[in-house]
């Protein structure tokens, strides 16, 4: 049973905002993690649609017992503009997944999704070192995953997105880090050791798969960023093809420790 | 132990906002009450200072899983301006203690503090019917208490506030309801059956008492709106003088049922 102490007047708040919001798991995981670290703190879900970001950020920023923010789709790009300071990864991508207060009350941003995704793959059997990886999706999460895969030592990184412009922009952003290892490509996993879905395809059961399932082979490790849906259609197809898999819930688990460390380390 | 299920992505939010916020009890009581009624809902404290009301209200209003708001000092007057509709009491006073969503997402306000205060007095032994009552404080809570005391049948209502203008404005507002029973007066409880503190005096231990303790008599019932401070200096003096008492926590308890009913009755 997920029982916790109820909120009090002294509870510190860490809203998680995005749209849709009902599938997120951090309110449970992050709140239990905070309590385990002796904090009277709570992560609460707040549904914030694309056009509502500006009034939301202006409103939440004037509430001093809001110590941190967890950011999910569709806000990871735009939320960065509300940060006075940020980590190197967040500044490279202009993307944030978390914010905490600076001493003056302004926001410090970071992007933890990439490392969390790669950690989840490794925890479940993937070996990114020397691997050839196909990355599907060059949005907020995809961009961070690209950086983390390169930092984890992939040999070759093929990036696919419905927007070729988005892929080009990402390739430019990571060019110095990639050193020739990254390129644009089709959604074809043939010859790859890792297939990484960083698109929202799979959130709706009627979505087509982001790759052709008949091309999956048992030597491939397939990961998905989508959380709260247990085994997505992609991961079911991967499992049936004999692949190792890691789902979005595994990524959410991996990110918890990293996020708690970030939030409780108040120095910028 | 006050254990509850932790928040999920589907949790509905009822922020309680004001300043100071750390003494409020509704996050605990209201959340447990919601859970007892089968709701996945939570009351969370949000510190909002006087000048922060406008950005806060604009921000919180665009979050669809915020179903209701609980309002405390110093916002009970100004928050009314954000209500599209309101109860008769809230419109008479331009004051709200609670808001819930109308079907179109706009806010419907009500002011429940007066009835909750009077219920707490009655629950602890006061008999307002035919009583002579001294009311200290003509602010948001005090004004609502004045109406509820008159509705509960007090014979005479003496209203004192450091601002004579505030008293005059309240007397004008309730003139038709009072029918000659209410008047302005000093902070002198002599001859009164009920003494009702609706000022913030007592929140700081260094505050002077809102009435002269040497004038308290065992026939008087003394109530205080201040919650989260256990026995305020006024109530300690009253108990030592042999008076019956009800504190702000008793009022908070009394308001819970009324608030839950209000929040879960979504029709305006």
Q: Looking at the predicted structure, is the pLDDT value of residue A267 above 50?
A: no
- B35 and B157 part of one domain: no
Mean pLDDT for A36-45 is 96
Q: Please list every residue in chain A whose beta carbon sits closer than 8 Å to the beta carbon of residue B7.
A: 27-28, 31, 42-45
SS3 track for chain B: CCEEECCCCCCEECCEEECCCCCCCHHHHHHHHHHHCCCCEECCEEECCHHHHHHHHHHHHCCCCECEEEECCCCCCHHHHHCCEECHHHHHHCCCCEEEECCCCCEEEECCHHHHHHHHHHHCCCCCCCCEEEEECCCHHHHHHHHHHHHCCCCEEEEECCCHHHHHHHHHHCHHHHCCCEEECCCCCCCCCEEEECCCCCCCCCCCCCCCHHHCCCCCEEEECCCCCCCCHHHHHHHHCCCEEECHHHHHHHHHHHHHHHHHCCCC
- A145 and A92 part of one domain: no
Name the band, by pLDDT with cuts 50, 70 and 90, for residue A2: low
Last residue of a domain, one of A77, A111, A145: A111
* B interface with A, Cβ–Cβ below 8 Å: 1-11, 13, 17, 21-25, 27-28, 31-32, 42-49, 52, 55-66, 228
β-pair type (B221-224, B194-197) = parallel
Mean pLDDT for A86-98 is 89
Angle of helix A140-151 relative to helix A164-173, nearest 10 degrees? 40
- B58 and B89 part of one domain: yes
pLDDT in tens, A124-133: 999 999 999 9
Q: Looking at the predicted structure, is the pLDDT value of residue A253 above 90?
A: no
Q: Which residue of A has its CA nearest to B11?
A: A45
A7 within domain boundaries: no
pLDDT in tens, B24-40: 888 998 999 999 999 99
A49: closest CA among A77, A21, A83?
Answer: A21
A3 within domain boundaries: no
- B219 and B121 part of one domain: yes
Name the band, by pLDDT with cuts 50, 70 and 90, for residue B236: very high
Contact present, A108 and A268 (Cβ < 8 Å): yes
- A27 and A53 part of one domain: yes
- Tell me if B42 and A46 make a contact (CB, 8 A cut-off): no
- A121 and A214 part of one domain: yes
- A154 and A166 part of one domain: yes
Name the band, by pLDDT with cuts 50, 70 and 90, for residue A242: very high
Q: How many CB atoms lie within 10 A of CB A33?
A: 19
Residue A241, pLDDT score: 97
The shortest CB-CB distance from B2 to any of A5, A31, A43 is to A5
The shortest CB-CB distance from A45 to any of B5, B9, B24 is to B9
Q: Rounded mean pLDDT of chain A?
A: 93
- For B137, the domain range is 114-251
- Tell me if B4 and A6 make a contact (CB, 8 A cut-off): yes
- A218 and A121 part of one domain: yes
Q: Give buried/exposed letters for B77-96 (b at 16+ CB in 10 A, else e).
A: bbbbebbeebbebbbbbbbb
Contact present, A189 and A219 (Cβ < 8 Å): no
Q: Looking at the predicted structure, is the pLDDT value of residue A268 above 50?
A: no
Rounded to the nearest angstrom, the minimum Cα separation between B35 and chain A is 11
Last residue of a domain, one of B111, B142, B169: B111
CA angle B87, B90, B96 (to 5 degrees): 115
Q: Looking at the predicted structure, is the pLDDT value of residue B267 above 80?
A: no
A238 within domain boundaries: yes
User: Which tokens hold the place of A192?
Assistant: 């790859």
CATH at B217: 3.40.50.720
B85 within domain boundaries: yes
pLDDT in tens, A57-77: 999 999 999 999 999 989 988
Name the band, by pLDDT with cuts 50, 70 and 90, for residue B229: confident
Q: Which residue of B has its CA nearest to A52?
A: B62
Residue B2, pLDDT score: 62
Residue A140, pLDDT score: 80
- B97 and B130 part of one domain: no
- A91 and A168 part of one domain: no
Q: Rounded mean pLDDT of chain B?
A: 93
- A183 and A80 part of one domain: no
Contact present, B177 and B150 (Cβ < 8 Å): yes
- Tell me if B32 and A6 make a contact (CB, 8 A cut-off): yes
The DSSP line for chain A is: --EEEPP-TT-EE--EEESS-TT--HHHHHHHHHHHTT--EE--EEE--GGGHHHHHHHHHT-TTB-EEEE-TT-TTGGGGG-SEE-HHHHHHT--SEEEE-TTS-EEEE--HHHHHHHHHHHTT---TT-EEEEE--SHHHHHHHHHHHHTT-SEEEEE-S-HHHHHHHHHHTHHHHTT-EEE--S--TT-SEEEE-SSTTSSTTSPPSS-GGG--TT-EEEE---SSSS-HHHHHHHHTT-EEE-HHHHHHHHHHHHHHHHH----
Number of domains in chain A: 2
Place of tokens 């902070």: B187
Residue B241, pLDDT score: 97
* Lowest-confidence segment of A109-118, A218-227, A231-240, B250-259 by average pLDDT: B250-259
The shortest CB-CB distance from B65 to any of A5, A21, A61 is to A21
- B77 and B149 part of one domain: no
Q: Looking at the predicted structure, is the pLDDT value of residue A24 above 80?
A: yes
Distances (CA, A) of A204 to A209, B46, B65: 11, 34, 21
Name the band, by pLDDT with cuts 50, 70 and 90, for residue B266: low
Name the band, by pLDDT with cuts 50, 70 and 90, for residue B117: very high
pLDDT in tens, A46-58: 999 999 999 999 9
CATH at A51: 3.40.50.10860
B13: closest CA among A167, A48, A236?
Answer: A48
Name the band, by pLDDT with cuts 50, 70 and 90, for residue B156: very high
B118 within domain boundaries: yes
Burial label, A160 (beta-carbon count in 10 A; 0-12, 13-18, 19+)? buried
B133 within domain boundaries: yes
Mean pLDDT for A239-246 is 97
Mean pLDDT for A205-221 is 93
Q: Please list every residue in chain B whose beta carbon sits closer than 8 Å to the beta carbon of residue A27.
A: 6-9, 11
A196 within domain boundaries: yes
By residue count, chain B amounts to: 268
Q: Which residue of B has its CA nearest to A41?
A: B44
Residue B211, pLDDT score: 95
B264 within domain boundaries: no
Mean pLDDT for A25-38 is 92
pLDDT in tens, A145-177: 999 999 999 999 999 999 999 999 999 999 999
Name the band, by pLDDT with cuts 50, 70 and 90, for residue A92: confident
């Amino acid at each position: 049973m997920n029982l916790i102490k109820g909120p009090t007047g002294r509870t510190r708040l860490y809203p998680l905002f995005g749209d849709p919001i009902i599938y997120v798991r951090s309110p449970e995981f992050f709140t239990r993690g905070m309590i385990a670290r002796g904090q009277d703190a709570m992560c609460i879900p707040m549904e914030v649609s694309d056009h509502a970001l500006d009034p939301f950020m202006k409103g939440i920023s004037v509430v001093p017992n809001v110590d941190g923010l967890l950011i999910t789709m569709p806000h990871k790009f735009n939320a960065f503009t509300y940060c006075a300071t940020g980590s190197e990864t967040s500044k490279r991508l202009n993307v944030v997944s978390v914010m905490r207060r600076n001493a003056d009350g302004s926001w410090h941003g970071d992007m933890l999704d990439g490392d969390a995704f790669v950690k989840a793959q490794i925890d479940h059997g993937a070996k990114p070192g020397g691997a050839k990886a196909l990355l599907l999706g060059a949005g907020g999460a995809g961009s961070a995953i690209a950086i983390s895969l390169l930092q984890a030592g992939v040999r070759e990184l093929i990036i696919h997105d419905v927007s070729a412009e988005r892929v080009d922009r990402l390739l430019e952003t990571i060019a110095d880090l990639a050193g020739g290892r990254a390129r644009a490509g089709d959604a074809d996993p043939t010859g790859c050791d890792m297939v990484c879905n960083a698109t929202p395809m799979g959130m709706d059961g009627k979505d087509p798969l982001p790759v052709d399932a008949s091309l999956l082979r048992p030597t491939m490790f397939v990961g998905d960023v989508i959380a709260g849906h247990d085994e997505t259609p992609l991961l079911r197809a991967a499992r049936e093809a004999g692949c190792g898999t890691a789902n979005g819930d595994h990524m959410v688990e991996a990110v918890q420790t990293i996020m708690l460390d970030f939030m409780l380390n108040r120095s910028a």
